[in-house]
Structure 1
Amino acid sequence: MNMLPHLSQLTHEQLLEFTQQLAMQNQQLVEDKQQLEQSNQHLDAKVQHLSVLTQKYEHELALFKRHKFAQKNEHLTAKQISLLDEAVEEDIAAVDLELERLNADQPKSAETKAIKPKRRPLPDHLAIIRIEHEPASTQCSCGCTLRRIGEDLSEKLNFRPAQFYKEQHIRGKWVCDQCNTLIQEPMPAYVIDKGIATPELLSHVLVSKYADHLPLYRQRLIYQRVGVDLACSTLSEWVGQCGVQLEPLAEALKQIILQQQVIHADETPVTVMQIAEKKPKKGYVWAYATTQYNSIQAVIYDFQPSRSGQHAEDFLKGWQGQLICDDYSGYKARFASGQMIEVGCMAHARRKFHELHVTGKSLIAEQALQLIQQLYQIEAELREIPDCSAEQRHQRRQQDSQPIMRQLYVWLKEYQDKVPKSSPTAKAINYSLKRWSALSRYLDDGNLPIDNNWIENQMRPWALGRKNWLFAGSLRSGQRAANIMTLIQSAKLNGLDPYAYLSDVLKRLPTHKMKDIEALLPHNWKPA
């Protein structure tokens, strides 16, 4: 109110100048406001970015802690749970025995009488040794002769430690006195000529090392306990020569696998400690196998010095078909050229969401896991069908799995735009979407599995083995081990006893014709 008279006293020029100043001040205020808004937007973006980074780092930290501490904490592996079950059963048996002793002098009523568990019958194939328990005298104390009216039979399971024995091969010399002709049967041919080891002993050494994961020095200690001292150098020589002799079978099995239209592939590291090197190096075992739906059950291991994709390129050279694998880039060149068709692994896609769920309890991850679990439930039901054909699997997948896959795809696309692009959740979603064609390929072919777990199971012997023998002595010894484990694991896949299989093969191999080598492969083998 006081300014109005004052303003009224101003000249026109002064009013104009004052108006300009107010306009300039107003313009400055507008610019300051815009700068503040821009600064606020920049801070909001920075806060959002930091929030995403925090979420990412928290997820990675929880994942690392789980990997490092889970097996030492309350999270038990299947093997640890098995050990716990054994300990509990031992405690129960001990407590039962103590209670039995405490109640030994007390009469048992019909209600308190203990129910003995039904004992599992012993296998029929075991050799039987009869042990007769008869009275020292059949004369009764009254003077009469006792008459046998029957018997009771009880079976006990006994064990005899591994026994060595000598085989003395005696070859008679026969001569004709008329023409002085000498006849003598030749010695049978052996894998290790003029060696002391029989095929059975060689098979036992190989199976102990590569199936039971007993290093040679441990085997030597076991043999010493039964009175036989075999030098580690001798055992090593046997293994080395057997590896060379069995190499043609591994090569023949490789050719069989490369004739299949669908193959699994995977790889795992194995430490290589060479004599001339001061530091250990990392080698890799590559595994290739037929699917569990194939009539031919086989796996072959290829030992290589690195994880270079060139090794897979060399092994699969000339092969065309569908390769089931993880997302390893070593196979991408063949996929891009169209020489091979990629079949994705749903287990790897599931694993991304599972890690999110266990580390952050993500509700989004839980929804994905529920849909994927429905797919696996259908596969489990198909495995329960006796002699389920590829056509049956195809029809069931088209009918039940296809709608679930469509639902999963829509769900992934919906949440792809909702979650921050660099978050762990976004990475899990993008992993599946980028490989969607490969992941859904199994729906259109009943010969394809849903994942690559079959070959990962065939890698377990290597994981167990390297914990015992720790490293391979060289690339050559690594490939030798790969050849032997190829035959042992393939024998297992065909329901064979590796010891019986190798014993027979090593016995027949020296005189077996190379053109008939396929008859000795595990899926074709028949006992002599």
Structure 2
Amino acid sequence: MDHAQLNAITDVKVLRALVAEQLQIIARHERTITERDANIAKLNAEIKRLRRLQFAARSEKMDPAQRQLFEETMAADIAAVEAELEALQSPPAADPSRPRRAPKRRALPDDLERVETRHEPSSCACDQCGGALTHIDDHVSEKLSCRPLTFFVRRDVYPQYACRACETITAVPVPPTVIDRGIAAPDLLAHVIVAKYVDHLPLYRQEAIYARSGVAIPRSTQGEWIGACGVALQPLVNRLRDTLLAQTILHADETPVAMLEPGTGKTHRSYLFAYRSGIGPPIIAFDFCISRSGKHAQRFLGDYGGALMVDDYSGYKALFATGVTELACWAHARRKFVDQYKASGSKIAQAAIERIAVLYRIEAEAVAMTVEERLAHRQRHAVSALNAFKTWLDELRPSVMGNSGTAKAIDYTLRRWPALARYAEDGSYPIDNNAIENAIRPIALGRKNWLFAGSETAGKRAAAIMSLLATAKANGHEPLAWLTDVLTRLPTTLDRDIDTLLPHRWKPAA
């Protein structure tokens, strides 16, 4: 076989490899298109379902609070699905030849103050040829903004300059926003969200408050804003959960919330599961679930293999059979004896409370210590106090009536003893679950104000947004300042930099 034949065979092999590679690329593209089309069809069907539900509910009998929350929820749910649908249908890059959808927006009141910011190009010379720029026009973007209870129109002006020498137009590009072509600036969006999820103000109350300031913002519009912002913030929520599950110690607890069942006018008992990091910067995540089943905790935690501080709820038990280390809360155990002491003045309960107080005094002495120092301190002081307490309970139990409150408190403590005493084995383990209980406490206030979640989708969206806001608060950030900055920067933040916006890593823009 001569040299030419060898070259021909090599060329054929190269061509076949190239063809195979192109076929693989085409197959990948076809799968992507198929998946995208399936998702688009699914979202279109969901929008139709929500609109049917919205229309059908008009004939249902609901009290005013239920009606208002249902309308808010439907507006937020539909806006969230439409935002996902638009993201799927939009091309990867802006196409100048593609006609832009005409924005549907009300004119902003003329009597509102205008705060104008001019965004001038960095140079007065043309980038293309160096010629002098001549001002020819302004591109003006107006968004409704607000200070606390003071509305104004934020007027962003982008001067457009032309180079007469080469006819090049120069202007600062208009940055993307969370809600494209919407009237609300990031600070107003943040204000509505924080008022609802931190200050627990339902949207119908906010509507009335804003009307007193001379601006009409219907609750349905606020609901649409929240739905769109919920979609935009989801990547942050996902990263927050991933970061949380990478921790070696977690707190967990749950609290009931009511969920409205459209079509019946009744509410269903749902639950908000809460998780918090045990060491390092505080990270809090809420998970809305339609029941208290332990499968929800197993789904959220996945293959987590660290230590978990929980109460005695049976839903967590399956996790401890898969390698999760169980930690029990001394505050829970103490509460059993406190309740009995308040009810009967039991001397045994009083003595148990005093013994638990010794454990907490030992902990107070170790607050400023390193993990290694705290472990040594616990081994030196807490272990002997724990052993003495356990011996006292074992000896006392046979003499206490089996159906008494004191007996139940003792039985709870003895049954949970291995998990209760485990904190002394590691200097990083917490002694109680107070950190997560403090995170859940504001939910009780929220229940009194927003009464119930309007749907499962609304409950999950609320849990996601509250996770971010609760983490911001736990890290010492003012939630409104954090969320305003994040909603401003999020549209221009690359995926690889998304972690910089997480509440426990966030630094205000310079």
Per the normalisation by structure 1, the TM-score is 0.67
- For 2:408 and 2:420, how far apart are their aligned partners in 1? 16
Shift of 1:373: 1.1
**Structure (1/2) with the larger strand percentage:** 2
Q: Counterpart in 2 of 1:165?
A: 152
Q: Counterpart in 2 of 1:231?
A: 218
Q: Counterpart in 2 of 1:396?
A: 377
Equivalences for residues 134-145 of structure 1 within 5 A: none
Equivalences for residues 4-15 of structure 1 within 5 A: none
Q: Counterpart in 1 of 2:289?
A: 304
CA deviation map 1:298-330 (0-9, x unaligned): 101111111000000111111101100001111
**Do structure 1's residue 334 and structure 2's residue 319 form an aligned pair?**
yes
Q: Counterpart in 2 of 1:217?
A: 204
Q: Counterpart in 1 of 2:348?
A: 364
Shift of 1:333: 1.2
- For 1:369 and 1:183, how far apart are their aligned partners in 2? 74
**Do structure 1's residue 354 and structure 2's residue 338 form an aligned pair?**
yes
Q: Counterpart in 1 of 2:252?
A: 265
- For 1:393 and 1:440, how far apart are their aligned partners in 2? 15
Equivalences for residues 73-472 of structure 1 within 5 A: 162-291=149-278, 294-337=279-322, 339-383=323-367, 385=368, 388-472=369-453
Q: Match of 1:298, as an amino acid? A: I
5+ residue gaps, structure 2: 1-146
**Do structure 1's residue 524 and structure 2's residue 508 form an aligned pair?**
no
- For 1:258 and 1:422, how far apart are their aligned partners in 2? 41
Q: Counterpart in 1 of 2:7?
A: none
Q: 2:455 aligns with which of 469, 474, 492?
A: 474
CA RMSD of aligned residues (A): 1.5
- For 2:161 and 2:148, how far apart are their aligned partners in 1? 40
- For 1:488 and 1:448, how far apart are their aligned partners in 2? 26
- For 1:516 and 1:290, how far apart are their aligned partners in 2? 22
Shift of 1:412: 0.5
Shift of 1:177: 4.0
CA deviation map 1:38-82 (0-9, x unaligned): xxxxxxxxxxxxxxxxxxxxxxxxxxxxxxxxxxxxxxxxxxxxx
Q: Counterpart in 2 of 1:491?
A: 472
Shift of 1:369: 0.9
Q: Counterpart in 1 of 2:131?
A: none
Number of residue pairs aligned between Structure 1 and Structure 2: 363
- For 1:170 and 1:518, how far apart are their aligned partners in 2? 31
Is the Cα–Cα contact under 8 Å of residues 175 and 492 in structure 2 kept in the other structure?
no
Q: Match of 2:336, as an amino acid? A: K
Secondary structure at 2:273 match in 1? strand
Q: Match of 1:279, as an amino acid? A: K
Q: Counterpart in 2 of 1:117?
A: none
- For 2:222 and 2:409, how far apart are their aligned partners in 1? 50
Identity %: 49
Per the normalisation by structure 2, the TM-score is 0.69
Q: Match of 2:314, as an amino acid? A: S
- For 2:501 and 2:148, how far apart are their aligned partners in 1? 30
- For 1:323 and 1:209, how far apart are their aligned partners in 2? 31
Secondary structure at 1:165 match in 2? strand
Secondary structure at 1:166 match in 2? strand
Q: Match of 1:344, as an amino acid? A: A
5+ residue gaps, structure 1: 1-159
Shift of 1:275: 2.3
Shift of 1:176: 3.9
Secondary structure at 2:403 match in 1? coil
Q: Counterpart in 2 of 1:134?
A: none
Q: Match of 1:349, as an amino acid? A: A
Q: Match of 2:253, as an amino acid? A: D
Is the Cα–Cα contact under 8 Å of residues 210 and 217 in structure 2 kept in the other structure?
yes
CA deviation map 1:170-200 (0-9, x unaligned): 3333334454444444322110111011111
